[in-house]
Copies of this chain bind each other. A is one copy, B any other.
Protein backbone atom coordinates (compact mmCIF):
# COMPACT_ATOMS: atom_id res chain seq x y z
CA UNK A 1 0.00 0.00 0.00
CA UNK A 2 1.48 3.26 -1.11
CA UNK A 3 -0.39 5.65 1.09
CA UNK A 4 -3.33 4.48 3.07
CA UNK A 5 -6.59 6.19 2.27
CA UNK A 6 -8.76 6.23 5.34
CA UNK A 7 -11.74 7.64 3.51
CA UNK A 8 -15.02 5.81 3.52
CA UNK A 9 -16.68 3.21 5.68
CA UNK A 10 -14.83 0.83 7.95
CA UNK A 11 -16.22 -1.90 10.14
CA UNK A 12 -14.97 -2.81 13.60
CA UNK A 13 -15.13 -6.59 13.78
CA UNK A 14 -16.36 -8.54 16.79
CA UNK A 15 -13.99 -11.21 18.07
CA UNK A 16 -15.51 -14.70 17.77
CA UNK A 17 -15.21 -17.14 20.67
CA UNK A 18 -15.74 -20.89 20.62
CA UNK A 19 -17.89 -22.92 22.99
CA UNK A 20 -15.12 -22.91 25.59
CA UNK A 21 -14.75 -19.14 25.58
CA UNK A 22 -11.52 -19.22 23.56
CA UNK A 23 -10.78 -16.98 20.59
CA UNK A 24 -11.92 -18.89 17.51
CA UNK A 25 -9.76 -18.22 14.43
CA UNK A 26 -11.88 -20.50 12.26
CA UNK A 27 -15.00 -18.44 12.85
CA UNK A 28 -13.05 -15.25 12.29
CA UNK A 29 -11.75 -16.46 8.93
CA UNK A 30 -15.18 -17.47 7.84
CA UNK A 31 -16.79 -14.17 8.84
CA UNK A 32 -14.02 -12.18 7.22
CA UNK A 33 -14.69 -13.91 3.92
CA UNK A 34 -18.26 -12.66 4.17
CA UNK A 35 -17.18 -9.10 5.00
CA UNK A 36 -14.63 -9.06 2.20
CA UNK A 37 -17.47 -9.52 -0.26
CA UNK A 38 -19.02 -6.21 0.84
CA UNK A 39 -18.14 -2.67 -0.29
CA UNK A 40 -16.51 -1.86 3.06
CA UNK A 41 -13.31 0.14 2.66
CA UNK A 42 -11.44 -1.60 5.43
CA UNK A 43 -11.58 -3.35 8.77
CA UNK A 44 -10.73 -2.80 12.40
CA UNK A 45 -9.93 -5.71 14.66
CA UNK A 46 -9.50 -5.45 18.43
CA UNK A 47 -11.65 -2.37 18.79
CA UNK A 48 -14.21 -1.86 21.51
CA UNK A 49 -16.63 -4.05 19.59
CA UNK A 50 -13.85 -6.63 19.35
CA UNK A 51 -14.09 -7.01 23.14
CA UNK A 52 -10.47 -5.90 23.31
CA UNK A 53 -10.80 -5.21 27.03
CA UNK A 54 -11.50 -8.90 27.64
CA UNK A 55 -8.63 -10.38 25.60
CA UNK A 56 -5.13 -11.42 26.59
CA UNK A 57 -2.16 -10.17 24.60
CA UNK A 58 -1.68 -13.62 23.06
CA UNK A 59 -5.27 -13.64 21.92
CA UNK A 60 -4.77 -10.22 20.36
CA UNK A 61 -1.84 -11.58 18.39
CA UNK A 62 -3.92 -14.47 17.14
CA UNK A 63 -6.66 -12.13 15.94
CA UNK A 64 -4.31 -9.86 14.00
CA UNK A 65 -2.48 -12.79 12.45
CA UNK A 66 -5.66 -14.50 11.40
CA UNK A 67 -7.16 -11.37 9.91
CA UNK A 68 -4.00 -10.39 8.08
CA UNK A 69 -3.85 -13.78 6.38
CA UNK A 70 -7.24 -13.08 4.85
CA UNK A 71 -7.51 -9.34 4.28
CA UNK A 72 -5.67 -8.45 1.07
CA UNK A 73 -3.35 -5.50 0.75
CA UNK A 74 -5.30 -2.49 -0.41
CA UNK A 75 -8.09 -3.05 2.10
CA UNK A 76 -6.69 -1.40 5.23
CA UNK A 77 -6.51 -3.67 8.26
CA UNK A 78 -6.38 -1.60 11.43
CA UNK A 79 -5.66 -3.12 14.83
CA UNK A 80 -6.81 -1.70 18.13
CA UNK A 81 -3.71 -1.35 20.26
CA UNK A 82 -4.34 0.96 23.19
CA UNK A 83 -3.25 -0.03 26.68
CA UNK A 84 -3.16 1.91 29.92
CA UNK A 85 0.57 2.46 30.33
CA UNK A 86 2.76 4.05 27.72
CA UNK A 87 5.21 1.16 27.78
CA UNK A 88 2.49 -1.47 27.34
CA UNK A 89 0.94 0.40 24.43
CA UNK A 90 4.28 0.66 22.68
CA UNK A 91 4.83 -3.08 23.09
CA UNK A 92 1.39 -3.87 21.70
CA UNK A 93 1.65 -1.45 18.80
CA UNK A 94 4.92 -3.03 17.72
CA UNK A 95 3.46 -6.51 17.89
CA UNK A 96 0.45 -5.52 15.83
CA UNK A 97 2.70 -3.95 13.21
CA UNK A 98 4.98 -6.98 13.08
CA UNK A 99 1.93 -9.17 12.53
CA UNK A 100 0.87 -7.12 9.55
CA UNK A 101 -1.54 -4.44 10.74
CA UNK A 102 -1.57 -1.49 8.33
CA UNK A 103 -2.31 0.97 11.12
CA UNK A 104 -3.16 0.94 14.80
CA UNK A 105 -6.09 2.50 16.60
CA UNK A 106 -5.04 3.78 20.01
CA UNK A 107 -7.74 4.60 22.48
CA UNK A 108 -7.10 7.15 25.20
CA UNK A 109 -5.94 5.58 28.44
CA UNK A 110 -8.65 5.95 31.04
CA UNK A 111 -7.66 4.15 34.21
CA UNK A 112 -6.75 7.50 35.74
CA UNK A 113 -9.34 9.67 34.05
CA UNK A 114 -8.63 12.91 35.83
CA UNK A 115 -4.94 12.63 35.00
CA UNK A 116 -5.58 12.45 31.27
CA UNK A 117 -4.73 16.11 30.76
CA UNK A 118 -3.62 17.71 27.53
CA UNK A 119 0.02 17.35 28.54
CA UNK A 120 -0.19 13.72 29.57
CA UNK A 121 -2.14 12.74 26.46
CA UNK A 122 0.21 14.67 24.20
CA UNK A 123 3.23 12.93 25.74
CA UNK A 124 1.54 9.53 25.61
CA UNK A 125 0.52 9.71 21.97
CA UNK A 126 3.80 11.34 21.00
CA UNK A 127 5.78 8.48 22.51
CA UNK A 128 3.55 5.89 20.88
CA UNK A 129 3.68 7.59 17.48
CA UNK A 130 7.45 7.84 17.69
CA UNK A 131 7.74 4.15 18.46
CA UNK A 132 5.14 2.75 16.10
CA UNK A 133 6.31 1.17 12.84
CA UNK A 134 2.88 1.89 11.32
CA UNK A 135 0.66 4.97 11.29
CA UNK A 136 -1.62 5.53 14.26
CA UNK A 137 -5.21 6.62 14.52
CA UNK A 138 -6.20 8.44 17.68
CA UNK A 139 -9.37 7.11 19.28
CA UNK A 140 -11.69 9.13 21.44
CA UNK A 141 -14.68 7.41 23.02
CA UNK A 142 -15.73 9.55 25.93
CA UNK A 143 -18.91 7.66 26.77
CA UNK A 144 -16.90 4.50 27.27
CA UNK A 145 -13.82 5.97 28.90
CA UNK A 146 -14.87 9.10 30.72
CA UNK A 147 -11.94 10.83 29.04
CA UNK A 148 -12.21 13.44 26.32
CA UNK A 149 -9.40 13.91 23.84
CA UNK A 150 -10.03 17.58 23.10
CA UNK A 151 -9.78 18.86 19.52
CA UNK A 152 -6.98 21.16 20.65
CA UNK A 153 -4.96 18.14 21.77
CA UNK A 154 -5.76 16.22 18.60
CA UNK A 155 -4.65 19.26 16.61
CA UNK A 156 -1.21 19.16 18.21
CA UNK A 157 -0.89 15.42 17.64
CA UNK A 158 -2.04 15.73 14.03
CA UNK A 159 1.25 17.41 13.27
CA UNK A 160 3.12 14.21 14.01
CA UNK A 161 3.79 12.52 10.64
CA UNK A 162 2.82 9.13 12.05
CA UNK A 163 -0.60 10.25 13.28
CA UNK A 164 -2.96 10.00 10.35
CA UNK A 165 -6.38 10.48 11.80
CA UNK A 166 -8.85 10.05 14.63
CA UNK A 167 -11.86 7.95 15.35
CA UNK A 168 -14.24 10.17 17.26
CA UNK A 169 -17.02 8.04 18.69
CA UNK A 170 -18.92 10.85 20.34
CA UNK A 171 -22.02 12.46 18.94
CA UNK A 172 -21.03 16.02 19.79
CA UNK A 173 -21.14 17.40 16.29
CA UNK A 174 -19.42 20.64 17.28
CA UNK A 175 -16.44 18.61 18.45
CA UNK A 176 -16.31 16.77 15.12
CA UNK A 177 -16.45 20.08 13.26
CA UNK A 178 -13.66 21.39 15.46
CA UNK A 179 -11.52 18.36 14.73
CA UNK A 180 -11.96 18.94 11.00
CA UNK A 181 -11.23 22.64 11.33
CA UNK A 182 -8.16 22.31 13.52
CA UNK A 183 -6.34 19.53 11.69
CA UNK A 184 -4.58 19.55 8.31
CA UNK A 185 -6.46 18.45 5.17
CA UNK A 186 -4.76 15.04 4.99
CA UNK A 187 -5.67 14.17 8.56
CA UNK A 188 -8.77 11.94 8.57
CA UNK A 189 -11.59 12.48 11.03
CA UNK A 190 -13.67 9.31 11.15
CA UNK A 191 -17.00 9.23 12.92
CA UNK A 192 -17.73 6.38 15.27
CA UNK A 193 -21.44 6.87 15.85
CA UNK A 194 -23.77 5.50 13.18
CA UNK A 195 -26.76 7.43 14.48
CA UNK A 196 -25.15 10.71 13.45
CA UNK A 197 -23.01 9.50 10.55
CA UNK A 198 -24.62 11.81 8.01
CA UNK A 199 -24.14 14.79 10.30
CA UNK A 200 -20.50 13.86 10.81
CA UNK A 201 -20.02 13.78 7.05
CA UNK A 202 -21.75 17.14 6.66
CA UNK A 203 -19.41 18.48 9.30
CA UNK A 204 -16.43 17.36 7.25
CA UNK A 205 -15.65 13.83 8.46
CA UNK A 206 -13.88 11.66 5.90
CA UNK A 207 -15.81 8.55 6.80
CA UNK A 208 -16.61 6.32 9.71
CA UNK A 209 -15.71 3.26 11.70
CA UNK A 210 -19.15 2.00 12.54
CA UNK A 211 -20.36 -1.12 14.31
CA UNK A 212 -23.40 -0.78 12.10
CA UNK A 213 -21.16 -1.25 9.06
CA UNK A 214 -20.33 -4.76 10.19
CA UNK A 215 -24.04 -5.51 10.20
CA UNK A 216 -25.35 -3.46 7.27
CA UNK A 217 -22.29 -2.77 5.12
CA UNK A 218 -24.15 -1.97 1.90
CA UNK A 219 -26.46 0.54 3.52
CA UNK A 220 -23.64 2.29 5.35
CA UNK A 221 -21.60 2.50 2.16
CA UNK A 222 -24.64 3.87 0.34
CA UNK A 223 -25.19 6.52 2.98
CA UNK A 224 -21.59 7.60 2.55
CA UNK A 225 -21.98 7.76 -1.22
CA UNK A 226 -25.23 9.75 -1.05
CA UNK A 227 -23.67 12.28 1.29
CA UNK A 228 -20.61 12.60 -0.92
CA UNK A 229 -22.82 13.17 -3.93
CA UNK A 230 -24.65 15.98 -2.13
CA UNK A 231 -27.94 14.07 -2.19
CA UNK A 232 -28.84 15.24 1.30
CA UNK A 233 -32.54 14.49 1.13
CA UNK A 234 -31.98 10.86 0.17
CA UNK A 235 -29.14 10.61 2.65
CA UNK A 236 -31.40 11.88 5.44
CA UNK A 237 -34.03 9.30 4.58
CA UNK A 238 -31.53 6.46 4.67
CA UNK A 239 -29.88 7.77 7.85
CA UNK A 240 -33.25 7.90 9.55
CA UNK A 241 -34.02 4.31 8.63
CA UNK A 242 -30.67 3.16 9.96
CA UNK A 243 -31.09 4.86 13.33
CA UNK A 244 -33.35 2.29 15.03
CA UNK A 245 -30.95 -0.56 14.25
CA UNK A 246 -27.93 1.54 15.15
CA UNK A 247 -29.42 2.41 18.53
CA UNK A 248 -30.09 -1.20 19.37
CA UNK A 249 -26.62 -2.52 18.61
CA UNK A 250 -24.52 0.40 19.76
CA UNK A 251 -26.50 1.76 22.64
CA UNK A 252 -29.10 -0.52 24.06
CA UNK A 253 -27.65 -4.01 23.61
CA UNK A 254 -23.98 -3.32 22.99
CA UNK A 255 -21.62 -6.02 21.78
CA UNK A 256 -23.99 -8.86 22.74
CA UNK A 257 -26.60 -7.14 20.57
CA UNK A 258 -24.19 -6.75 17.68
CA UNK A 259 -23.22 -10.41 17.82
CA UNK A 260 -26.84 -11.49 18.00
CA UNK A 261 -27.82 -9.26 15.10
CA UNK A 262 -24.93 -10.55 13.03
CA UNK A 263 -26.10 -14.09 13.74
CA UNK A 264 -29.49 -13.11 12.34
CA UNK A 265 -27.70 -11.98 9.19
CA UNK A 266 -25.79 -15.23 8.77
CA UNK A 267 -22.57 -14.48 10.64
CA UNK A 268 -21.40 -16.99 13.22
CA UNK A 269 -19.35 -15.26 15.93
CA UNK A 270 -20.31 -17.22 19.00
CA UNK A 271 -21.29 -15.70 22.32
CA UNK A 272 -19.73 -12.67 24.02
CA UNK A 273 -17.18 -13.39 26.74
CA UNK A 274 -18.27 -13.24 30.39
CA UNK A 275 -19.03 -11.08 32.26
CA UNK A 276 -20.91 -10.15 29.08
CA UNK A 277 -23.91 -12.36 28.49
CA UNK A 278 -25.84 -13.13 25.32
CA UNK A 279 -28.94 -11.01 24.78
CA UNK A 280 -32.27 -12.21 26.09
CA UNK A 281 -34.97 -13.66 23.86
CA UNK A 282 -36.88 -10.39 24.09
CA UNK A 283 -33.87 -8.40 22.93
CA UNK A 284 -33.31 -10.85 20.12
CA UNK A 285 -36.88 -10.38 18.95
CA UNK A 286 -36.43 -6.64 19.07
CA UNK A 287 -33.29 -6.88 16.96
CA UNK A 288 -35.03 -9.18 14.49
CA UNK A 289 -37.94 -6.76 14.16
CA UNK A 290 -35.68 -3.77 13.65
CA UNK A 291 -33.67 -5.56 10.98
CA UNK A 292 -36.84 -6.76 9.26
CA UNK A 293 -38.31 -3.25 9.33
CA UNK A 294 -35.15 -1.88 7.78
CA UNK A 295 -35.06 -4.51 5.06
CA UNK A 296 -38.72 -4.19 4.15
CA UNK A 297 -38.39 -0.50 3.50
CA UNK A 298 -35.11 -0.70 1.65
CA UNK A 299 -36.04 -3.75 -0.41
Contact = CB atoms under 8 A, between A and B. Distances in A.
Given A115-B254, A236-B180, A243 B85 contact: no
A225 B93 CA distance: 47
A196 B112 CA distance: 21
A159 interface: no
A275 B202 contact: no
B240 A181 contact: yes
Interface stretch (A32-40, A168-176, A210-218, A286-294): A168-176
A240 to B, nearest CB: 5
A277 interface: yes
A244 to B, nearest CB: 11
Given A85-B275, A112-B53, A123-B274, A174 B204 contact: no
Contacts of A254: 112, 114-115
Contacts of A114: 251, 254
A80 interface: no
A196 B177 contact: yes
A232 to B, nearest CB: 6
Nearest to A199: B173
Contact of A236 (B88, B123, B203, B274): B203
Contacts of A53: 84-85, 111-112
A87 interface: yes
A18 to B, nearest CB: 13
A180 B233 CA distance: 12
A188 interface: no
B120 A277 contact: yes
A190 interface: no
A84 B54 contact: yes
Contacts of A86: 273-275
A236 B177 contact: yes
A276 B112 contact: yes
Given A112-B53, A275-B121, A199 B177 contact: yes
Contacts of A54: 84-85, 88, 111
A19 interface: no
A87 B198 CA distance: 40
7 nearest A-B pairs in the assembled complex, by CB-CB distance = A53-B111, A202-B202, A124-B275, A54-B85, A86-B274, A173-B173, A173-B199
Given A112-B255, A174-B243, A177-B199, 4 more contacts: A120-B276, A174-B196, A181-B236, A203-B236
